[in-house]
Structure 1
């Protein structure tokens, strides 16, 4: 696969360009994103689906600009897909031929089921879930996929889109009450087509409508982490908030704390979203900042992997290590840190008593423990925190992201960094758990970076932790002496120190 791949997604409402760069076999990151609100389907739903000149012209200009960006980034491979507006349009194929002739872009028109599959591939790989229903509301369609046990079981496409509802109902000169009633009836009739097995407690919100609503919920709930991807909320708790949005006038939308750029279609989108959530019995929504574009990319990247990453691989972690870990090749060969932490965490269960519930987060933090040093040795722990909190985008919940990042920040003789605890306490474990995890993490790093691949073991009895090593731990001793402990206990180090005799020096 090419090192840099550009994906263009032409939807009914927007055209987007993303450029991904591969850093290794399983590592990748986004290096460019551009968007244009082309509204290629504007006016089409009242003109028997035919694309109209105003939308065609905007789409051409956006695609022309995308080409300049792709050339600037020296992209080797470009994939362009188009969704409902072009597949519904009788003149869609004429547009595709025209763009190929004038701009050299090959546009692949995908059907609704394929669109749903791409969204599901992205969600299945890049969100912390095993079972869910994805809901991707576009301008012309709502595309859904059923995921069970990490497998895409079925996909379906409904003729429910924000632009479609806007032109058919909300742009008419009717009262809002009448508009909502007619639009709801239209939605319910379309939902009757959805197969009965599309039922699940967890819904994945993909696309502009879902993102806008999630941001509104985050803002109103005072959510401390400014990251949309994997943000989760309860449907019932926000039912009234969602119910009021479609009933609002366009001018009244500002009171809901939503992005102004979404005012033109958010009422239609919210109505579709809430009715689908109700129909499938969803109780929770997990927000996705990935969708069709990431799915198209991952289909190429994982075509020989069954369209899923191996279970022990997290692409965000791989990408961070590829870019920010100065010792990555050495670390890949040396699993010592994880072995030390595993033994220590097990031995200290007599005090911790958490059944090692945070073992996964602890291991991820240890894998990332040196990522700050490549940018700033003297503030490496602060740097590592900021890298992790920004770049741990895929496959983790917000609670997991905060805990992993916080462990990176807390490394030092003091176990807790109070300003961080105060800011993110809603998403972090209780303070006692944090103290123990920080102790395990910090002691593991001290021992590993100063032990030269030693075989280190632990025992704990009568309030004494004994550390046994087959190699010297001289440099680690002073750091360990100063290390804060969650509760009072002694630490004894039994290592192998050999000083050769020298009579001239008196030893």
Structure 2
């Protein structure tokens, strides 16, 4: 696969492009994301589905700019897909042929099930959840992919997009007709032969815009949409506020951005109707969708379209980008697990914290590349936004705080206040802080010493093959939780 790849997705409402750089076999990094609200399907649903001249010209001009960006970034491969508007339009060949002849770009028009499949591939690889159904609300259609145990069980596409329903119902204030149309189409999902999961992974601009409003309303501390999760029942009133907003000023006060004023009410109405009819309990917001799915379909074609077991693309990508020494990273990871296991009887933490401690130990040094001084604080800020994929928000916050308080005094309650709704109890963070501090102290001369750990009562004994003066001196300075004592033998 090319080192730098461009993916373009021509939707009914927006045209989007991502440029992705491959950093190792399965890891990649986003280096550009561009969106243009071309509304290529504008006016088509009330004109026999035919694309209109002005929207086609907007789309052509935007594609020309997209290709300029791709060329400037030295992309060696371009994959362009088009969805509902072009697959429905009887005159789509006018646009496809012009783009091919004048811009040299071949556009692949994909059917609804393929669109749902790409969204499903992105979600099952990049969202942390085991069983869910994706819902991707576009301008012309809405796609569903049923995911269970990292496999796509079923893909469905329905003609219930925001632009389509606006022209057919919403512009005439026929909300009853719109709801009946949605419910009629949803019967295909209800009758598909698969049990409806209680969790939806929401894809697309409408759902991301709605999630942003919900985050603001709930004073959520982390300004990250991908992976944001919320209860449907507790936030229905927010959907109603958007749907019932009388004008754009009210939408603005709710936190809706100007470029979403024209579709957010209709999109929220569609989404709320789907959630209610399918009896969904929880929504997880996905920042990844069709574009990432197209890329992963290419990247993972020889591995059954799924990342290897225990592989995390975000962790691997950060290790690649910051050129962290593989030998040192592996040592810190192994040693973190050994320390966690040795102290299990005292800290009694669930296995998930072992995984997070290992990740924090591997990534702790990325701040050095930004600025050696205040390295922990640099890493903290970067981790909050850098662990993009396949991480719960709570997990990335725990990793960031674990690193922030490494080789320092144990965190106090006031230190965790800003993110307390995403963090575990104070004693958990103090144990993680101590364990990563001990790990970094043991290998501060980067010699990867062999150490055996033995817990006797509340005393952790460390057995080294040879004495390392720097280690003994620094271990004595570590603040320990629950009166734990650390003794070194060589």
Q: Same-fold call, TM > 0.5?
A: yes
Of 282, 293, 296, the residue aligned with 1:295 is: 293
Q: Which residue of 2 aligns with 1:114?
A: 114
Matches within 5 A, 1:42-441: 42-172=42-172, 174=173, 179-194=174-189, 195-197=192-194, 199-251=196-248, 252-328=250-326, 330-331=327-328, 335-416=330-411, 420-441=415-436
* CA–CA distance in structure 1, aligned partners of residues 211 and 60 of structure 2: 31
Q: Which residue of 2 aligns with 1:38?
A: 38
* CA–CA distance in structure 2, aligned partners of residues 462 and 299 of structure 1: 52
Cα deviation, residue 489, structure 1: 3.3
Paired residue total: 487
Stretches of structure 1 lacking an aligned partner (at least 5 in a row): 496-507
Q: Deviations over 1:64-110 (max 9, x none)?
A: 11111111111100000000000000001221011101111100000
* TM-score, normalising length: structure 2: 0.96
Q: Deviations over 1:455-475 (max 9, x none)?
A: 211222243221111132211
Cα deviation, residue 170, structure 1: 1.9
* CA–CA distance in structure 2, aligned partners of residues 357 and 31 of structure 1: 31
* CA–CA distance in structure 2, aligned partners of residues 326 and 356 of structure 1: 26
Q: Which residue of 2 aligns with 1:16?
A: 16
Do the aligned partners of 1:51 and 1:92 also contact (CA within 8 Å) in 2? yes
Cα deviation, residue 451, structure 1: 6.5
Cα deviation, residue 356, structure 1: 4.2
* CA–CA distance in structure 2, aligned partners of residues 445 and 254 of structure 1: 48
Shift of the 212–420 alpha-carbon distance from structure 1 to 2, 3 Å rule, reads: farther
Do the aligned partners of 1:14 and 1:35 also contact (CA within 8 Å) in 2? yes
Cα deviation, residue 368, structure 1: 0.8
- After alignment, is 316-325 or 300-309 more displaced? 316-325
Q: Deviations over 1:197-216 (max 9, x none)?
A: 26110000000111011101
Q: Deviations over 1:153-179 (max 9, x none)?
A: 11000000000111112222x4xxxx2
* CA–CA distance in structure 2, aligned partners of residues 451 and 240 of structure 1: 55
Do the aligned partners of 1:180 and 1:246 also contact (CA within 8 Å) in 2? no
Q: Secondary structure at the match of 1:9?
A: strand
Q: Secondary structure at the match of 2:133?
A: strand
Q: Secondary structure at the match of 1:193?
A: helix
Q: Deviations over 1:352-395 (max 9, x none)?
A: 12244411111111111221222222222112112211110000
Cα deviation, residue 254, structure 1: 3.0
Q: Secondary structure at the match of 1:30?
A: strand
Q: Secondary structure at the match of 2:47?
A: coil
Shift of the 95–376 alpha-carbon distance from structure 1 to 2, 3 Å rule, reads: same
Stretches of structure 2 lacking an aligned partner (at least 5 in a row): none
Q: Give the root-mean-square deviation of aligned CA atoms.
A: 1.6
Do the aligned partners of 2:367 and 2:375 also contact (CA within 8 Å) in 1? yes
Larger radius of gyration: 1
* CA–CA distance in structure 1, aligned partners of residues 378 and 323 of structure 2: 12
- After alignment, is 367-376 or 302-311 more displaced? 367-376
Shift of the 451–377 alpha-carbon distance from structure 1 to 2, 3 Å rule, reads: closer
* CA–CA distance in structure 2, aligned partners of residues 144 and 325 of structure 1: 39
Do the aligned partners of 2:12 and 2:140 also contact (CA within 8 Å) in 1? yes
* CA–CA distance in structure 2, aligned partners of residues 374 and 87 of structure 1: 47
Shift of the 436–5 alpha-carbon distance from structure 1 to 2, 3 Å rule, reads: same
- After alignment, is 104-113 or 464-473 more displaced? 464-473
Q: Secondary structure at the match of 2:421?
A: coil
- After alignment, is 437-446 or 485-494 more displaced? 485-494
Q: Which residue of 2 aligns with 1:475?
A: 470
Q: Which residue of 2 aligns with 1:502?
A: none
Do the aligned partners of 1:325 and 1:368 also contact (CA within 8 Å) in 2? no
Do the aligned partners of 2:413 and 2:426 also contact (CA within 8 Å) in 1? no
Do the aligned partners of 1:134 and 1:206 also contact (CA within 8 Å) in 2? yes
Cα deviation, residue 338, structure 1: 3.0
* CA–CA distance in structure 2, aligned partners of residues 355 and 404 of structure 1: 15
Q: Secondary structure at the match of 2:17?
A: strand
Matches within 5 A, 1:468-507: 468-495=463-490
Cα deviation, residue 136, structure 1: 0.3
Cα deviation, residue 419, structure 1: 6.0
* CA–CA distance in structure 2, aligned partners of residues 79 and 451 of structure 1: 44
Shift of the 151–13 alpha-carbon distance from structure 1 to 2, 3 Å rule, reads: same
Q: Secondary structure at the match of 2:443?
A: helix
* CA–CA distance in structure 2, aligned partners of residues 29 and 354 of structure 1: 33
Q: Secondary structure at the match of 2:94?
A: helix
Do the aligned partners of 1:40 and 1:51 also contact (CA within 8 Å) in 2? yes
* CA–CA distance in structure 2, aligned partners of residues 427 and 210 of structure 1: 22
Q: Deviations over 1:188-245 (max 9, x none)?
A: 1111222242611000000011101110110000111110000000111111221342
